[in-house]
Structure 1
Amino acid sequence: MNTVLDHLRLMARNNAYANERLYDACCRLSQAEFEAERTGFFPSIRETLNHNWEVDRYYLDALKEEGQGLSVFDTQHLASAAELKPAQKSADEDLIAFCDRMVEGDLDRNVAQDRGKSGVFHETIANTLLHLFQHQIHHRGQVHAMLAGTSVAPPQLDEFFLEFDRHPSAQRFWETG
């Protein structure tokens, strides 16, 4: 890995890998377990995963300068892990494609982010991506902890970067990188 761009591209792939593993586990939950009230920032696995999907769409909209802004939050929450999995996968694929198209000069370019009553703020693409990855990691960790209280064991999500420790399903994300 030689550049910031390489790092961000790998983070986008790691994000997709970790989401895939987490959703594979969540899809094995009963609907009652998926919706059950749990301790976390959001009150259930369902609400936490919907939040991640919403926020991914919000920041992707800003990064791609599509102009939807806060209206992305008007989309109705999806009811099941089986519905959310392909929706999240689509957002993850969009994020990978966005990172793959970036050139060095894009990193310092500002993009508008509508914050409602607080106004429109401008942030660099690099900082927006770093925030988005951190946001995903933060809430995936919460879902991971919530899974520990279910019939489905939480999956390993950190077997991506180190070659000797890489999960077999992570390899395809490296091969497409």
Structure 2
Amino acid sequence: MTARYLHKLLRYRAWADQLTYDAVAALPEGAAEAVRATIFGNMLRTLSHTYVVDDIFQAHLQGRQHGYTSRNTPEPLVLDELWRRQQAMNDWYLGYAEALSPAQAVEEVTFQFIGGGEGRMSREEMILHVVNHATYHRGFVADMFYQVPAKPPATDLPVFLRDVPQP
């Protein structure tokens, strides 16, 4: 995978997150925290899970302990705080990917899964994972929009490629 491609995927992810967080913020008060028929219980906890996994994989990439014992925050964060943290995380991944040499990108990193067991992925595979993982869970959030009822934003990769000028 080229650095250019990783960067494009991470720019797509940041763009899609922006649309999603803006749309969640525009929902009626309480809609993001309302109990829904979904694995994490509501929109806010789903977005929080995505952030936590990003943070965990950031720690793996940096070779440090992350301190999490589960794949979500113990207590929900308010949407504004979660969005601030997610933006900083997205910026970190963009900078990290830009600085990776081709040799570093394919270097494998060993880590421990929260649920137990050892994992091993290349740095570029970890980056692909956080992009893919966020896309997967934005789909859950989009589904919850229909339960509000409200229309979710279109965050598909082809829409990004159409609407956002590419370098």
TM-score by length of 2: 0.86
Q: 1:160: which partner in 2?
A: 160
Letter in 1 for 2:45: E
CA 1:139–1:83: 2 relative to 1, 3 Å: same
Deviations for 1:68-107, whole angstroms, at most 9, x for unmatched residues? 2536868544432222111111111111111111111112
Of 24, 40, 63, the match for 2:22: 24
Supply the distance in 2 between the matched residues of 1:52 and 1:68 (Cα, whole angstroms).
15
Q: Aligned residue for 1:134?
A: 132
Runs of 4+ in 1 over 6 A off after TM superposition: none
Deviation at 1:121, TM superposition (A): 2.6
What is the CA RMSD across the aligned residues, in angstroms? 2.2
Shift of 1:41: 2.6
- Seq. identity, %: 22
Q: What is the alpha-carbon distance in structure 1 between the residues aligned to residue 83 and residue 68 of structure 2?
A: 22
Q: Which amino acid aligns with 1:160?
A: F
CA shift digits 1:11-64 (9 cap, x unpaired) = 011000000110001111244211112122321101101100100111111112
Residue 63 of structure 1: aligned partner: 61
- Distance in 2 of aligned mates of 1:148 and 1:55: 25
Equivalenced residues, count = 165
CA distance in 2, matches of 1:39, 1:157: 22
Please give the secondary structure, in 1, of the residue aligned with 2:14: helix
Taking structure 1 as the reference length, what is the TM-score of the superposition? 0.82
The 3-state SS of whatever aligns with 2:155 is coil
Q: Which runs of 5+ in 1 are unaligned?
A: none
Give unpaired runs (5+ residues) of structure 2: none
**8 Å CA contact retained: 2:45, 2:76:** no
Residue in 1 that maps onto 2:97: 99
Moved more, 75-84 or 59-68: 75-84
Contact 2:71–2:114 (8 Å) recurs in 1: no
Write the distance in 1 (CA, Å) between the matches of 2:80 and 2:150: 15
Secondary structure of the residue that 1:32 maps to in structure 2? coil
